[in-house]
Chains A and B, each alone.
Chain A
C-alpha cells in the first residue's frame, strides 16, 4: 500500500460480520473479519476512539476493546449504551441485540482493489428470494466475486 494508491469508501459490513449482546447497561459488539487477509487492517483501523466517535451520543460511557487474534475478532464493550439496560430501558433494542449492525454502517477507506474484492460481501445478493429455503448455496457464488 503506497500513499499514491487510490482508495474507495466501503462500509465495515463489507469487511466483517458481527454479533452483539448485553450486560446491564453495557452492550458488547464482537466484530469478525470475513477474510483473514483483512484482519491486520481491521485490527489497526478499528480503534476504541474510532468506535466511540462512530456511535457518538448512542454510547454515553467508555468504549473498551479486546482482541481474539486466532478468531480474527475484536470485542468491544460499549458502556452506558442501553438506556439503563434490561427491563429499565425504554429502547426498542434494550438488550443491544442489533448494536452490531449499527457498527457495521461505519465507512472505511480501502485501496481500490480491496473495495472491488469486498463490496457486497455482507449483503444479500440481488437475486435473493426470501420465499425459498436456500439449500447451502456457496456464498461466494452468490456474489460472483
Chain B
C-alpha cells in the first residue's frame, strides 16, 4: 500500500466540484476538455458503461486480449492529462470495462506521451469481473436468478459472455486515498463515480446514509452528461441556447451532503429546476427505493431550488443502510436479428407499405422460415406511438416500411435479409431507399440482471496503483 494522498488537507474540505465528462461510450469527445479548461473543477467523472457495453467489450477482448475497455479514454487522457495535473483535477471513470488493467496501462502510456511521466498515478480497481469464477459461484450455490423472471442462470450458462458485479464507492475511495490522479474501474455503478470523491474528501463513513444518499442523487444527475444541462430536455427546448457548445453539468458538493448543480460560465445549455427534474426522472424506478451498493436512497422528499442563473440546489434525499446484495450484469447470446427497410412515396404510401408487408410475410411463410418475433413499423407514422398515431392518411407524403425479425436460427435470419431487395421489382410501386444493401444479421446479446451476496464479491476487489 502506498503513502496516503498528500493533497487531502488535514482539516475537512468544505466544497468540491465534481464535473460530468461523458454520459456514455460515444458521447461528445470535447466535453471533458471543456470541463477541465472552462472553470474551477476538482474531479471529473466519466461514465462509459451501459447494460450492453460490457458484452461488446468482452467480445473485443476475446479477439484481442489487450482490448476490452473504452478505447477513446486513453487518447482523451493524453489530451487533458497535463491540464488536469496543473489544476489538480482528478479523474474517476468506469472506462476499464472488462479490462481495467489494460485500460490503466494504456493510460500510463498516454500520460508518458503527454509528458507527465514521473508526476502522476493511475489507480486500477479490479474484482468486479465474475466471468472466470462463474462456475465456481454456481457450484457454491449462488444461483444468479433473473431478477424479473426468477429463472436460474444455469439455464443459459453455456451462452454467457460476460458477468460483472456492480460495485460501489469503497475501492474508488481507496484508490483516491492512495493518491491516484486517475481512477479506472470496471463495472462500478454510474453514481459511485460521483459520490466516491465526496466520501473521500469529506471523510464520510458508511453510516452517513443521508449524505451518501445525497451523493447518489448528485451521481444520478451527473451520469448522463448534458442530459442534466439542457440536452434531450423537453421543457422549452427551443429556447435552450448554444447546444453546439453545451456545458456539461457539474455539482458543487458540500460536506453536509447538500449540493448545487451548475455548469461553467460562458457555455451553452441550461441548468434549471425543470431540466434537472427531467434528468432525475430518467430511468427512475421506485423513488423511495433507489438501491445502490452503498445505501438505499429515498428521493420522495427531494427538493430543487433555483439558486441563480444555471444553478439548482438539491436537498432532501434520505438514506437507509445498503442491502446485503450487489446487482450483477450478465450478458448472454440469445439468437439473431435483422431489420430491413424500404421507402414508399405518395400517393397511398401507407397502403403500399402495408401491401409490401403482406407479400413479405407470405414469402417468408412459403420459404418455411419461422421466427420468434416479427415486428413491422411504419417509420414516419407509427414507429414510436403505435396505435396512438391512428390510421395513416391517404395523402401521407411518404413512409418507411421497417420489417424486423428475430430468431435462434442464424440461417433463417440471413435468408430473410435476401428477401427485402426483391420487393423493389416484385411488389407495390413507388418504392425507393434500398441503396444501403442487404440488412446485416446481428447477434443478440441479452441482458440478465441478477443479485449476488456481497461477500462473494467484495473480498476479491483490489486496488493497484501504477506510476506514470
Write the residues of chain A forming the contact surface with B, with a CB cutoff of 8 angstroms: 17-25, 28, 30, 32, 34, 54-58, 64, 66-71, 73, 75, 77, 83-88, 90-93, 98, 100-102, 105, 122, 124-125, 128, 133-139, 142
By a CB distance below 8 angstroms, the chain A residues around B235 are 17, 32, 34
Say what secondary structure dominates the interface of chain B. Answer: mixed
Query: Considering the complex, which residues of chain B in the window 424-468 have a beta carbon less than 8 Å from any beta carbon of chain A?
Result: 444-447, 449
B239 and A134: CB pair below 8 A?
Answer: yes
Query: With A23-B285, A83-B373, A133-B244 in contact, do A105 and B388 touch (Cβ < 8 Å)?
Result: yes
Closest Cβ–Cβ distance, residue A120 to chain B (whole Å): 12
Closest Cβ–Cβ distance, residue B327 to chain A (whole Å): 11
Q: Which 4 A-B pairs have the closest CB atoms?
A: A30-B281, A21-B283, A90-B404, A90-B375
B388 and A58: CB pair below 8 A?
Answer: yes
B359 at the binding interface (Cβ < 8 Å): no
B264 at the binding interface (Cβ < 8 Å): no
Say what secondary structure dominates the interface of chain A. Answer: mixed
Give the number of chain B interface residues (Cβ < 8 Å): 58
Query: With A17-B278, A90-B339 in contact, do A125 and B447 touch (Cβ < 8 Å)?
Result: no
Q: Which of B51, B148, B239, B300 lies in contact with A67, CB distance below 8 A?
A: B300
B274 and A28: CB pair below 8 A?
Answer: no
B303 and A73: CB pair below 8 A?
Answer: no
Query: With A19-B282, A136-B239 in contact, do A92 and B402 touch (Cβ < 8 Å)?
Result: yes
In the complex, A28→B373 CA distance in Å?
24
B379 and A57: CB pair below 8 A?
Answer: no
Closest Cβ–Cβ distance, residue B163 to chain A (whole Å): 16
Closest Cβ–Cβ distance, residue B150 to chain A (whole Å): 14
B285 and A86: CB pair below 8 A?
Answer: no
By a CB distance below 8 angstroms, the chain B residues around A138 are 239
B51 and A86: CB pair below 8 A?
Answer: yes
What is the chain B residue whose CB lies nearest that of A79? B148
B281 and A134: CB pair below 8 A?
Answer: no
A75 and B281: CB pair below 8 A?
Answer: yes
B284 and A75: CB pair below 8 A?
Answer: yes
Would you give the 0/1 interface string for B27-58, flagging 1 where the beta carbon is closer than 8 Å to chain A?
Answer: 00000000000000000000000011000000
Closest Cβ–Cβ distance, residue A61 to chain B (whole Å): 10
By a CB distance below 8 angstroms, the chain B residues around A67 are 300
